[in-house]
Amino acid sequence: MTITMMWIIIILVFIIFSGIRIIQQYENGVVFQLGKYSRTLQPGFNVIIPLIEAARVIDMRVLTNDIPKQQAITKDNVPVSINGVVYFQVIDAQSAVIKVQNYLYAVSQYAQAALRDVVGGMTFDDLLAERQKIGDEIEAIIQKQAETWGIKVTAIKLLDVDVPEELKKMMSRQASAEREKRANITKAEGDKLAAVNLAEAARTMTQSPGAMQLRTLQTIDGLGPTASNTVVLAVPVDFMDSIKGLAAKFLEKKQE
């Protein structure tokens, strides 16, 4: 066998093996024959015609793509920087290859534009409180276009929302003032309840002849046996009335 024949055999073997395509379970292969779409290869062992056909393998799993930090202005003119991540999946490999040049880049750019549009239509408070709603709106906008590319958007998640440092300080002061307001309201409600209870206790003592004396004894007992405590006892009003009554009777008898 001559050297020329050996080289011819090697080239033929190489060409034959170059036509073998092993497609993984999570992939599809799009075959072009002389530049024209021919068929889609399914997972497993596949063969294409060397030099005439070319195959492009597409990942059919759920993919993630970062949405770079975007500068946007909310509806109430608050500047914010916001980023996120988009989850999507190729469901039609043929459309993903033929109808868009680079579906990864296209989804990323479309997500950035949709993010700015949605944020621009919301107030700053809504932006902080309605992240899930913003993600759903962006997803709906992207999905409408992505369907034509053979792509399904599964979710949009917002990661960070940054605001200017001065605005952060203002928000901190506002939160502090709100907490102080709630504390004052709670204290006022407590004082009101205490006043109502004291008034009720005063009425009870007024209606019960021995209630004040009993309360006085309880207070003295609560002081404990400490020698440094000085206790000043006030004479009850009813006791003074009794003394006055006895004195009046004594004077009447003396005058008689």
pLDDT band at 27 (very low <50, low <70, confident <90, very high): very high
Amino acid (one-letter) located at 25: Q
CB crowding 151-184: b at 16 or more within 10 Å, else e: bebeebbbeebebeeeeeeeeeeeeeeeeeeeee
Q: pLDDT tens across 179-226, in order?
A: 677 777 887 888 788 777 777 766 766 666 566 566 665 666 665 566
Distance (Å, whole) CA 42 – CA 2:
41
pLDDT of residue 79: 84
Indicate the range of 46-60, 100-114, 210-224 predicted with least confidence: 210-224
Please answer whether residues 23 and 43 qualify as being in contact, where contact means their C-beta atoms are separated by less than 8 angstroms.
Answer: yes
What lies within 8 Å, CB to CB, of 163 at 6+ separation is 78, 79, 80, 81, 124, 171
Q: pLDDT tens across 217-251, in order?
A: 566 666 556 666 565 655 555 555 555 566 666 56
Residue written as token pair 């990942």: 59
Q: pLDDT tens across 136-159, in order?
A: 888 888 998 899 999 999 988 888
What lies within 8 Å, CB to CB, of 66 at 6+ separation is 83, 84, 85, 108
Cα–Cα distances in angstroms (integers) from residue 256 to residues 95, 137, 253, in the given order:
128, 105, 5
pLDDT of residue 82: 86
DSSP string, 78-144: -EEEEEEEEEEEES-HHHHHHS-S-HHHHHHHHHHHHHHHHHHTS-HHHHHH-HHHHHHHHHHHHHH
Distance (Å, whole) CA 29 – CA 42:
7
pLDDT of residue 24: 93
Distance (Å, whole) CA 221 – CA 209:
20
pLDDT of residue 12: 80
Tally: H helices and E strands in the chain: 8, 8
pLDDT of residue 248: 64
User: Higher model confidence: residue 93 or residue 184?
Assistant: 93
pLDDT of residue 99: 92
Residue written as token pair 């992505």: 146
Domains along the chain with CATH numbers:
3-58 (no CATH), 62-163 (3.30.479.30)
